[in-house]
Amino acid sequence: MTAPFSPEEIASEGIKPDEYEEIVRRLGRHPNRAELGMFGVMWSEHCCYKNSRPLLKQFPTTGDRILVGPGENAGVVDFGDGLQLAFKIESHNHPSAVEPFQGAATGVGGILRDIFTMGARPIAALNALRFGDLSEPRTRRIFTGVVSGIAHYGNCFGVPTVAGEVYFDPAYAGNPLVNVMAIGLMETPEIVKSGASGIGNPVLYVGSTTGRDGMGGASFASAELSDESEADRPAVQVGDPFLEKSLMEACLEAFKTGAVVAAQDMGAAGITCSTSEMAAKGGVGIDLDLDKIPARETGMVPYEYLLSESQERMLFVAQAGREQELIAIFEKWGLHAVVAGTVIEEPMVRIRFQGAIAAEIPATALADDTPLYHHELMADLPDYVKTARQWSEAQLPDCAVEGLAGDRPQTWSAVLMTLLDSPTIASKRWVYRQYDHQVQNNTVLVPGGADAAVVRLRPQAGPLAAALVNTRRGVAATVDCNARYVYLDPYEGAKAAVAEAARNLSCVGAEPLAVTDNLNFGSPEKPIGYWQLAEACRGLAEGCREFGTPVTGGNVSLYNETLDSHGNPTPIYPTPVVGMVGMVEDVGRVCGQGWRAEGDIIYLLGLTLEQGDGAAEAVTLGASEYLAVVHNTVAGRPPRVDGALERAVQRVCRDGIRQGWVRSAHDSAEGGLAIALTECCISGQRGASVTFPLGQTQAIRWDRVLFGEGGARILVSVDPAMATAWEAYLAETLGDRWQRLGIVGAGTAPLTIDLVGGERLLLAEVAALHGVWSTAIERRLAD
């Protein structure tokens, strides 16, 4: 029988020729238009992970505190005292490239629904953003639109946006990354799952109406961006944060009745995804009548109903006989709630429309038994990596204590100013000042003041609200990834992302617990793209095992490539973002990154300056921000993660904070020690007098000493009265992996870095450093 669709029509749904043949084989017939669309979205990479699923199996996913792992709307961890935390990260990359404001806003809305679908009230949001060169008008338009969209949805909904990261690099010029993470505190007696059960139980559609917005968003998210992508604006959803706030309150109220058997957010692939996933997880079927679905537009056909990604919608399975009880709750909140279907024994997704069957597909064919592709890993390193690894520090201009030599000599103070003016390193105040980070009144450490956010765990409702009104427990959270590291060495770069996330949590005194990851990569169908993905997954898995942080779920976003007018693809840097949560036992015993008091002693934990100079793979200029910004070079190898040293340093930092010895803590990351010292000065509004125990006569690359990255390093400041006890503890726990560096100065003191012989490496007024660092982004936006 001849196919009722042309090859072009099949391809437009994201379905390959051999996949179409498999669909025909499974159905025993050709699909109709609606069914073809259903397979297109559910067999997209965005929904079924057909290229990445085999790689994800290596992630550790179990642990003593893991209550819900991968496979549900969000992971859930046990925080003790009856507190349970749901958290997850998702991407909205392609929609944000086409319609930055709504793309980012609905990304926030989607991740918040994932959280409250579990029965948790969202208490915090974070984001990890990547953009192109900020000097480009298109980048500025996307950047400002994305930030506005995130601020709009989060602020209106009433969730504090407490932390994040923003990188700027030409690699993201055509394809920005918008990853959003949310954390919620369980409010219901039981964790709400998504598997349908109970033959004859009613299926309820609740929330907003269904329209034509967001059509085929899942397929859109699984293809490269091109010059024609602007025409895909209909694939971008439109959100209403005020309606979602009502939806959350109605859902939490409904869950507490015990009448909800299962719940599923309608995100990617809308009704198609929610019906098929709920049915497949429960081993049952769902019979749904589209005529019952509240529509906001006239003349909609089954294909449009099934593929619409209109926002703020949910699907429930209710206990038979209690549907009116639930409907009344949603109507009280001004929301739609209708019985649209039934749970059936036959494991089929059966869709009715105008009295006829519009689609009938086995649930597992859409949600479980989907295509799976195993790609062959490259036997050799890609050429770009081989070329990058030929780079050495010998190719850099000569340097001396005074600064860089060569054709364009610069003092180290001038180099420091150049790095502070880089938008990636510079203050993100322009971004986070648009976010309400204090709503709900539980934010302990605010954006810009610490290496991670800390939020007090104070339930607003439920059985624990009264018992824990004065709780001291908190959650720390961070998102991290240095994509340049991953580009040059996917395995080590991904491990470094886990290590830095754990280090950031440790710098505020939190014990790292669990991870959610967002894998942003190019096409896995290209050998280099798959090699990057496979090696990064291997590194993430190893890193999570080393730090005891199981993966509870996450998101895979592939095909992040831009096609030019000739069809040539340019992929982004491989960017596996790590979202990590940690436990804070006492929110009164946390610390920020800024110096606290004049006279406090500054210590370096991790590889000392002497050790770092001799450890080329541990502290290096390869893959560094200094090399990229000052020398316009992306080459070398990133620093290698020493898991044992990282764990030891982080444990010591946490213990020092809990004991009250450590008054500030900040890790050394992009830009190395010089940038870390500067950020401590700026955040604390105090100078510092630092002495490096090195001599001028030594054959040293002073730029590596100042700006080299790696070494599991953390800067801490300690009250002099505590120094004896602190140093005894350091000697016992870290051996020789620490050193005293200097003293915190007064508010008017500069930052000075001297050598043991008195030679001066760097002198800079903190006000001048702050002036450049704090205005770098605003100045570029004003151009």
Q: Kindly state the DSSP code that residue 56 receives in the 8-state scheme.
A: H
214: Cβ contacts below 8 Å, ≥ 6 apart: 106, 234, 235, 236, 237, 238, 270, 308, 309, 310, 311
Whether 375 is catalytic: no
Per annotation, catalytic residue among 30, 46, 336, 566: 46
Residue showing tokens 């990154």: 593
Per annotation, catalytic residue among 92, 94, 152, 437: 92
Quick one: 17 exposed, middle or buried, by C-beta within 10 A (0-12, 13-18, 19+)? exposed
- What are the DSSP calls for 292-305, one per residue? GS-BSSSS--HHHH
Whether 566 is catalytic: no
What does R_g of the chain's alpha carbons equal in angstroms? 27
* Helix runs in 368-465, H state only: 383-389, 412-420, 429-432
Q: Classify the phi-psi angles of 475: left when phi > 0, otherwise alpha if psi is within -120 to 50, otherwise beta.
A: beta
* Helix runs in 608-753, H state only: 609-613, 625-630, 643-659, 672-684, 702-707, 723-734
Q: Which helix (H) or strand (E) holds 61?
A: none
C-alpha distances in Å from residue 374, one per residue of 54, 81, 180, 525, 530: 7, 44, 29, 10, 10
- Cβ 367 vs Cβ 277: under 8 Å: yes
Pairwise CA distance, residues 645 & 608, whole Å: 12
Identity of residue 534: A
Identity of residue 143: F
Pairwise CA distance, residues 612 & 711, whole Å: 7
How many degrees, rounded to 5, is the angle at CA 771 between CA 768 and CA 772?
Answer: 95
- Cβ 671 vs Cβ 630: under 8 Å: no
Look at residue 14 and give its three-state secondary structure.
coil
Instruction: Tell me the residue ranges of DSSP E strands in 551-704.
Output: 551-557, 561-563, 569-571, 575-584, 601-605, 619-620, 662-667, 688-692
SS (H, E, C) 329-379: HHHHCCCEEEEEEEEECCCEEEEEECCEEEEEEEHHHHHCCCCCCCCCCCC
> From the CB of residue 190, how many other CB atoms can be counted at a distance below 10 Å?
11
Q: CA dihedral in degrees (701, 703, 706, 710; nearest 10)?
A: -80
Q: Just list the catalytic residues.
A: 46, 92
